[in-house]
Amino acid sequence: MKTIIGITPSHQNELREYYLKKNYVEAVLQAGGTPLILPITSDENIINNYLEIIDGLLLTGGIDPDPRYWGEESIPGMGKIDPLRDKFELSILKKACRKNMAVFGICRGFQLINVAFDGSLIQDIAQVENNYLKHMQQAPRWYGTHEIKISDNSLLKEIMEVNSLLVNSFHHQVCGKIGKGLKVSARANDGIIEALEAENKKFLLGVQWHPETMYRKRKEFSKIFQRFVDESKR
């Protein structure tokens, strides 16, 4: 039995090019999945065709979602926006959830899950007066720099089987209001939400960190990809 995992790339539309870090593909492969990169499209029929082919959906990292999706206009700390990617990923994500497909979001993908369920993001934590930790680390990508505390009775806890983890951190945006039907699976020690999942036990999981750049040196992170591929198989 093949388990096909659709993976969303980023792109530069002006250059007519798609991009995807190989770590995402390799993390799916080592978990026994068959990765399939899904070119960004605005054609809903093509999106429906993708969903006929794939068993699970992996939303990857990338640039900032457009704050108009949660009713705000951009502040100066906002990064680049890719309107075509935003529209594509929100569409395929919502449709995948309606089909009860296993969905895993990493970094931007995690943030998009919150936005898709009517949550909001803080556009730039540097603009917020608070004693936040450093969430845009300057250590190597495989190296964890801040701790997270994992919520009891969460899917993440069931997968990782620990109360806390050291994770990497490459984000300047964070979750604000939590989306409907989602619950917090982990927080950093400054209160920042680092993982979200569905309240109803379906496999809808998002993590703010990048397990795909850690699993080779920290084997426990491959458990997330393993569980995601296993759930996609069902």
Task: Check 11, 89, 97, 107 and give the catalytic one.
Answer: 107
- What pairs with residue 182 in β-bridges? 198
Q: Which stretch binds Mn ion (CB under 5 A): 105-113, 117-125, 133-141, 212-220?
A: 133-141
Q: Which stretch binds Mn ion (CB under 5 A): 51-59, 78-86, 88-96, 128-136?
A: 128-136
> Which distant-in-sequence residues (6+ apart) come within 8 Å of 61 by Cβ?
21, 106, 107, 108, 109, 170, 210
Q: Does 108 engage in binding with Mn ion (CB under 5 A)?
A: no
Complex with Mn ion: residue 135 or 227, whichever CB lies closer:
135
- CB-side neighbour CA atoms (13 Å) of 30: 17
Min. distance of Cβ 190 from Mn ion in angstroms?
9
The SS3 assignment for 102 reads: strand
Min. distance of Cβ 52 from Mn ion in angstroms?
36
Render 21-32 in DSSP notation, one character per residue: -HHHHHHHHHTT
Q: Which stretch binds Mn ion (CB under 5 A): 68-76, 116-124, 129-137, 216-224?
A: 129-137
Residue nearest to Mn ion (CB): 169
Residue 210 designated active-site: yes
Interacting residue ranges for Mn ion, rule: CB under 5 A: 135, 169
